[in-house]
Chains A and B, each alone.
Chain A
Amino acid sequence: MRYPVLRLAYRALLCLIPRELRSTHAKEMERFFAETLDLETRRRGWYGYPFVLWGVLVDIVVCAVSVRLGSRVSSRTEVGGTKRRDRPGVGFLQDLYFSIRSLRKSLGFTLIATLTLALGIGSSIAIFSVVDVVLLRPLPFPEPENLYTVWETNLERGRPQSWVAPPTFVDWREQATSFAELSAISSGSATLTGGFQPEKISAVWASPNVFTLLGVRMHEGGVFPPEAERPGGGNWVVVSFGFWQRWFGEDSDAIGRTLTLDEKAFTVVGVLPRQFRFPEEADLWLPLTFESDQLSEGMRGARYLEVIARVRPDVTIERARAEMAAIAEVLGEEHSNNSGWSVSLVGLHENMVSEFRRSLTLLLLATGLVLLIACVNVVNLVLARASEHRRESAVRIALGATRWCLLRQSLVFHNLLALLGGLIGVVLASWATAPLIRIAPAELPRIEDVAIDTRIVLACLTLSVLVGSVLSLVSMWSSVESDPGLTLRSSQIGGPPVRHRVRRMLIVAEVGLSLVLLIGAGLLTRSFFRLQLVDPGFSTTGITTVSLSLPSSRYASGDQQTNLYREVVERLSERGEIQSIGATTNLPLSGSAMRFGFGIDDQPDAALNEQLSAEYHAVTPGYFRTMGIAMRNGRALDWRDDANEGPVVIINEAMARRFWPNEDPLGKRITVVSQGGPTSREIVGVVADVRHAGMATQPHIEVYVPLSQDPWAFVTFVVRATETTAVGQLFSGELAALDAALPIGVVLPIERHVSRWLAPLRFQALLVGLFATTALALAALGVYGVISYLVSLRANEIGVRMALGADTRHVFGSVVGQGVWLAGIGTLWGVATALWFTRHLSTLLFEVSPTDPFVFVSAPFLVLSVAVLACFLPARRAVAVDPVDALREV
């Protein structure tokens, strides 16, 4: 049987409809309900739940009210208006009025309960809105479930997901029958001229069928023409909505106009819709085709294309996988570069969000715990209030009120309370959205779409009604006795001892839950600070980075490229404001990396028994000094290390340790493969290890070659200046003097690269920390509430004890002890749960064990201290009890 809990809740709701209908049709209706849930969740995803729940709720209320009203009208006509007033449905307005009055009367209770609920519901809803957009909502393309990313995979080499080489892609496209479309994508940038000054624009080169594959409907114009499929089939461009607004001023005549990109004219064929964001926000889309030299045998090893596919609707994914595996096997037999490589298909959406799944689920879990703690707190308040109303309920029952009447009133009262909390929660969540988007890592897909919309509000109201219904049941259970006469005769205050036990248990649970959250937050924060303390091997302050790429039309030869770089460095070095300057092809933490094979000249590969590869950087003189990368041995690079001199290389310590553990590597030779083929180079220096891929990644084997011996058309300059803010202007001034048509690239302080890398971790640690603090505050409030209540129950007993000469300190200690005892049990339970739970955190932690002793000792200590503080006030009140007053009340 599916949905057992929801079916049970529905069956309970059916109590509201007339008995005649219920007795004959309840089973059928329950089944109808479950089947509708099935149908709607398949059709609408998670939103099916609130949709159906609200639908049936309104349905039942309308049915109850209309039937009762009908019977009331008819009975009035029959018996002359002597109908009892307390019929369900009719009395609803009266109940509502009564509830509003009660809420206003006990303003303190209302305020604390609604705000606590608002905090719990609001934080859950805010995080849920992020999870909904990022993880749950399907991609905005037709039949998104048929879209896949296709990877080359080689588990033996530790490459589970590798990009795809052009010849392999072309083979797939020719041979695979499972796909309706298959497209390759490669990101980069293009230089746009024609404005005030040349601009570097983000661009994507994609197979011309990419828009057909995704099913995008253009805002203006159309997709690439068929001739774009062949090499030399014309220069076409599709522009983003933002670019169209900025460059063409939303002019619909833009179609057919030309853009000068990398000094060639491109005709605009289409404008993408506003919300199109895939794979990233590129402004220009250009057709990707392959010349014959890109399809040579050697290029089968150059894996740089992202491949996406739309599986045919009549083909199962298993069949598509089997077909691709078979194709890969044949390719592996025919081409040595394909040997050992297979294919993996991962859902496009899954591929985009998989790295965030764990961290978002963690946040959702954390807010769930906060909500649970908030609910426990409110349940405690409701229990306290209900025990005050026990006598009132008993009197009402004795006077003839039915239990149904009391339940109805309780339902209206508590649902009103919860809805109030939910509404404030929605407001809080909508306030929280903007800061949440701001602190969220920019890589989070579709994060800018996060908003509190009708679906989220509906989900929030559903949650409120669920909470409200639970509260009313708790309150009913606590305030209505099976024998009202017993309650009226009894002098016992606050209900039977069993209910006190329940309240104590709730406190234990609350303390335990908040401790779990606190320990999780402690571990994440500790890991975050650990990461900040890691020495990345380079200076992370005071450096400005400027990217630059040279158009191949005017800077075709390596000499032209080297000369420009050298002149830029020399001209800027002469400026007084510049302390030092250098350039590299791959900046640390920027996400760009090159990896090439190498061999050690006097150690044949066979002896090493493995294929060696190293992180490869081409750098200019001054790079190490500017970046603060320490020279450990030998010399730095010099402009004299150019194409005419003997090839040299600088290696990092990790490489020196690995291959020459007990000897000096200087003077040894290694053969490094690069764009110009293998070159034997002499090791002239050793530098400190640098964590290029991030603080959490151990340094790899790295080689640095002079940019003048292996020039590349793109570099990033690193500049250390007395006035960092002026670097961009200085740089573009000097560059314009050398070549006015060259656009300056992105100017960023190095701190930004570091903070961008840390952003996801900061987001996670900050939010979990925030939720843990909220949970701790709520738990403290809960402990305070219950201990105060227990003290008020014991007032007489304490009075008698004091009258008999009990020591004040003793009484004080017994009250605090009672609280600490409860918190202690909660702490033990919390530690045990956390030990189990934090195992799942290990992949999110850096150099911190999931059972880190510091966190596991300090968090319980903090919780216990807060519990003692929370008991302090009630204890002081207890010792202030006047024995005479207390005795008089016995």
Chain B
Amino acid sequence: MDSKQSLKPQWFQILLAVADHDLHGLGIMKEVLEHTDGQMRLWPAMLYGSLKKMVELGLVEEREGPVGPGAETDRRRFYGITAEGRASLSDEVARLTRYVQVAEKKDVLRGTVGS
């Protein structure tokens, strides 16, 4: 993945969701919904389409889910972040942070964060 190129918003949110723990599809959807205050809802085709592409690009990988009762018949795909995914994510965060710093310098945030 070209580190200069910005991540698609839903890819960024997916990477952010799996950054600290492995999650299955519904878990990712719930976490993204929560992070974005309900602004971004990932529907199945978009989510799994993105995940498939991200696996191909090596940003995330499929992992073994936790083993529990009924796990044999009820196995879900869990996804975890790869080293490359983490690098892309931190590049993206750094890029966004730079924008925030510029905005702070220009005093754009006044009035929107209650200051």
Listed in ascending order, the chain A residues whose CB lies under 8 Å from chain B are: 17, 20-21, 24-25, 28-29, 31-33, 35-36, 55-56, 58-60, 62-63, 67
Contact = CB atoms under 8 A, between A and B. Distances in A.
A31 B52 CA distance: 17
A32 B52 contact: no
Interface string B38-77: 0001011111110010000000000000000000000011
Contacts of B29: 32, 36
A25 B48 CA distance: 7
Given A35-B26, A36-B26, A36-B29, A28 B41 contact: no
A32 B26 contact: yes
Nearest to A58: B43
B26 A21 contact: no
Contacts of A36: 26, 29, 44
A21 B46 CA distance: 11
A31 B77 CA distance: 12
Given A28-B25, A28-B76, A32-B29, A63 B41 contact: no
Contacts of A56: 43-45
Given A24-B52, A25-B52, A32 B46 contact: no
A29 B44 contact: yes
A21 B51 CA distance: 10
Contacts of A29: 25, 44-45, 48
A28 B46 contact: no
B49 A28 contact: no
A59 B52 contact: no
Contact of B49 (A31, A32, A63): A63
Nearest to A60: B45
Contact of A59 (B26, B46, B77): B46
Q: Which of B26, B44, B45, B76 has the most CB of A within 10 A?
A: B45
Interface size class of B (residues with CB under 8 A): 10 to 19
A274 B80 CA distance: 52
A64 to B, nearest CB: 8
B41 A55 contact: yes
Contacts of A59: 43-46
Contact of A63 (B25, B46, B76, B77): B46
Interface string B4-48: 000000000000000000000110010000000000010111111
A20 B77 CA distance: 16
Contacts of B49: 17, 21, 63, 67
Contact of A55 (B25, B26, B43): B43
Contacts of B76: 28, 31
A53 to B, nearest CB: 11
A32 B41 contact: no
B45 A17 contact: yes
A3 to B, nearest CB: 14
Q: Which of B25, B47, B48 has the most CB of A within 10 A?
A: B48
Contacts of B77: 28
A63 B76 CA distance: 22
Contacts of A28: 25, 48, 76-77
A59 B26 CA distance: 15
A31 B48 CA distance: 12
Q: Which of A17, A63, A67 has the most CB of B within 10 A?
A: A63
Nearest to A66: B49
A55 B52 CA distance: 20
Nearest to B33: A39
A35 B26 CA distance: 8
A32 B45 CA distance: 10
B33 to A, nearest CB: 10
Q: Which 3 A-B pairs have CB atoms at the shortest separation, nearest pair first? A: A59-B43, A63-B45, A29-B44
Contacts of B47: 32
A35 B30 CA distance: 11
Nearest to B76: A28
A55 B49 CA distance: 16
A868 B76 CA distance: 61
Q: Which of A21, A32, A63 has the most CB of B within 10 A?
A: A32
A56 B43 CA distance: 6
Contacts of A31: 76
Nearest to B51: A25
Contacts of B46: 59, 62-63
Nearest to B50: A63
Nearest to A17: B45
Contact of B44 (A24, A33, A67): A33
Contacts of A60: 45
Contacts of B26: 32, 35-36
Nearest to A20: B52
B43 A21 contact: no
Nearest to A30: B44
A871 B99 CA distance: 77
Contacts of B41: 55
Nearest to B25: A32
A67 B48 CA distance: 13
Contacts of A33: 44
20 contacts: A17-B45, A20-B52, A21-B49, A25-B48, A25-B52, A28-B25, A28-B48, A28-B76, A28-B77, A31-B76, A36-B26, A36-B29, A36-B44, A55-B41, A55-B43, A56-B43, A58-B43, A59-B44, A59-B46, A63-B45
A97 B5 CA distance: 39
A467 B29 CA distance: 30
A614 to B, nearest CB: 62
A32 B29 CA distance: 10
Contacts of A17: 45, 49
Contacts of A25: 48, 52
A63 B10 CA distance: 14
Contacts of B45: 17, 21, 29, 56, 59-60, 62-63
Nearest to A13: B45
Contacts of A35: 26
Contacts of B44: 29, 32-33, 36, 56, 59
Nearest to A10: B44
Interface string B71-104: 0000011000000000000000000000000000
